[in-house]
Amino acid sequence: MLQQILVRGEVSNCKYHSSGHIYFTLKDESGVLNCVMWAMFKPRGLKFSMKDGDEVIVYGYVSVYEKTGQYQLYAKQIVLDGVGQLQEQFERLKKKLEEQGMFDEAYKQPLPAYVRTLGVVTADTGEAVHDIITTARRRNPFIRIILKPALVQGPDAPASIIRGIRALDSLSGRDHPDVIIIGRGGGSMEDLWCFNDEGLAAAVFECRTPIISAVGHEPDYVITDYVADRRAPTPTGAAEIAVFDYRRFAQTLQSTQDSLSGQMENSLDRYRRKLEADQRLLTHLSPASRIREQRTFTAHAAQRLTDGMTMALERAYRQQERFSRETLTEAMQRAIRQRRDTLSVFSASLDGLSPLRRLSGGFGYLTRDGKPVLAAAEVRAGDRIDIRLRDGSVAARAEEIVLRDEP
């Protein structure tokens, strides 16, 4: 029953121990309750410097301190009494707007990478505006800043901030800001409460220009932080987010330019070499070059053809000559063989008819005055005749001519 309770009262006998624990007493008109907050709960459970006389609401549990036998409240979270009511209002509004989708990431506008004109809605005096301007111009000396002074605390602050947002959002042309920063410096929850206004949240949501909400310090959260396109932990942080670093940009630009120049030079060299190669190839493949090449090829081919034909003709002539010679020789040899055969036949025939052959058989061959004597009647007594024998001749004189009667 006493493990999760809320106790409202006035702080007294508040002591911060060297160990980090806080010992104090809560009292009201009806009683007193001893309390302690262990050091481990302090970072998350106590957001202000508690002192005697503060009206607070303590969340925790009650247990018996065995050493004294007394009941004691062990605090987990302590808030100022008025802050507790504000916190409840904050949570209710946050839940309502979240259910309406006003915190949805789908509606968040991206911030431009290079902001040239910066709109600022904040008080025209104080640390917040000074920090925004100083940081923005340090990062980019050429940034244009349009300030719309506004109340940032009190009941009239939400309407004042809304007017500043709408005035900047309605500007056109060169005067239209690329980004709007709304915010203020740190303070209590009551001091920052104007940024938890539902009407202001709607104005931030409807703004066409990206908005950065920079209210209070790092732990402080307000409704505009959830609705805005971007939250910054401080006004200085908002300027850091919104404005690009011109020097780094210039260095990057120079580096990029050098890189591009180098790449361009390399590309130009590569294309130049390719162009030269293409020109050589084009020259080699051009019609005139091809014609010259074909002419040279044709001339060489014609010469090779002529040489080949000459060689072929010479070879054919030699072959024909050899063939003719061989054929003629063979024909002559064949003719000689044929003539020899014929001669042999004739020789045999002649041999059979040869006078010498006949003479070898005891016959003689008569001649008178170099003329053959074919009949006895051709010789007269006393004529000188020559008798030719096989092995010689005999000179004789006819003494008597005897004629044989014809049959």
Is 275 a domain residue? Answer: no
Residue 137 CB-density burial (10 A; 0-12 exposed, 13-18 middle, 19+ buried): middle
pLDDT at 369: 86
Give domain status of residue 334, yes or no. Answer: no
Residues 116 and 178 in one domain: yes
Question: What's the pLDDT at 340?
Answer: 77
**pLDDT at 321 exceeding the cut of 80:** no
CA dihedral 366, 370, 375, 376 (to 10 degrees): -70
pLDDT of residue 239: 96
Q: How many domains does the chain have?
A: 3
* Least confident among 86-100, 124-138, 325-339: 325-339
Q: What is the mean pLDDT of the chain?
A: 87
Q: What is the pLDDT of residues 261-306, one digit of tens each?
A: 999 899 899 988 998 888 787 776 666 666 777 778 777 877 887 7
pLDDT at position 407 over 60: no
Residues 6+ apart with CB under 8 A from 226: 94, 97, 98, 102, 103
| Tokens read off for 236 | 């200085």
User: Is 169 part of a structural domain of the chain?
Assistant: yes
Supply the pLDDT for residue 27. Answer: 92
Report the alpha-carbon distance of residue 207 to residue 102 in Å, rounded.
Answer: 12
183 and 220 belong to one structural domain: yes
Last residue of a domain, one of 86, 119, 150: 86
Q: What is the mean pLDDT of residues 321-336?
A: 73
Tell me, what DSSP letter sits at residue 71? E
Picking from 244, 267, 284, the residue at the C-terminal end of a domain is 244
In a domain, 251, yes or no: no
Residue recorded with tokens 């809560």: 26
Q: In this predicted structure, what is the pLDDT of residue 290?
A: 67
Instruction: Indicate if 115 and 239 belong to the same structural domain.
Output: yes
Assess whether 127 and 232 both reside in one domain. Answer: yes
222 confidence band (pLDDT: 50, 70, 90): very high
The residue type found at 245 is D
For position 36, which CATH number holds?
A: 2.40.50.140
What pLDDT, in 10s, does the model give residues 283-293?
766 666 667 77
Per-residue pLDDT, 34: 93
Q: What is the pLDDT of residues 7-52, one digit of tens each?
A: 989 999 999 999 999 999 999 888 999 999 999 999 888 988 899 9
Closest Cα partner for 31 from 12, 50, 16, 44? 12
CA distance 144 to 166: 18
In a domain, 252, yes or no: no
Shared domain for 194 and 239, answered yes or no, is yes
> If DSSP codes are grouped into helix, strand and coil, which group holds residue 388?
strand
Looking at the structure, tell me whether residues 115 and 221 fall in a common domain. Answer: yes
Does the pLDDT value for residue 352 go beyond 70? no
Q: Which of 180, 215, 244 is the last residue before a domain boundary?
A: 244
pLDDT of 361 reads 63
46-50, 146-150, 165-169, 235-239: the lowest-pLDDT one = 46-50
**Do residue 16 and residue 138 come from a single domain?**
no
Instruction: Assess if residue 351 is contained within a domain.
Output: no
What is the rounded average pLDDT of the residues 341-351? 72
CATH number at residue 196: 3.40.50.2300
Given a cut of 60, is residue 171 above it in pLDDT?
Answer: yes
Domain contains 10: yes
Q: 14 with 51: CB under 8 angstroms?
A: yes
Q: Which of 24-28, 177-181, 189-193 has the lowest mean pLDDT?
A: 189-193
Checking if the pLDDT of 349 tops 60, the result is yes
Q: Which pLDDT score is estimated for 356?
A: 60
Region 388-392: mean pLDDT is: 80
The residues that bridge with 389 in the sheet, in sequence order, are 392
- Statement to judge: residues 47 and 153 lie in one domain: no
Q: Per-residue pLDDT for 67 more than 90?
A: no
**47 within domain boundaries:** yes
Both 77 and 112 in one domain: the answer is no
Question: Quick one: pLDDT at residue 68?
Answer: 81
- Give the pLDDT of residue 293: 72
- Read off the pTM: 0.53
**Which segments within 205-294 are labelled E, that is strand?**
211-215, 230-231
The pLDDT > 70 percentage for the chain reads 91
Name the residue range of residue 389's domain. Answer: 358-397
Mean pLDDT value across residues 191-196: 92
Query: Does 188 share its domain with 228?
Result: yes
Instruction: Examine the pLDDT at 83 and tell me if it is beyond 90.
Output: no
- Tell whether 67 and 111 lie within a shared domain: no
The stretch 392-401 carries a mean pLDDT of: 86
116 and 65 part of one domain: no
pLDDT tens profile 301-320 = 778 877 877 777 777 777 76
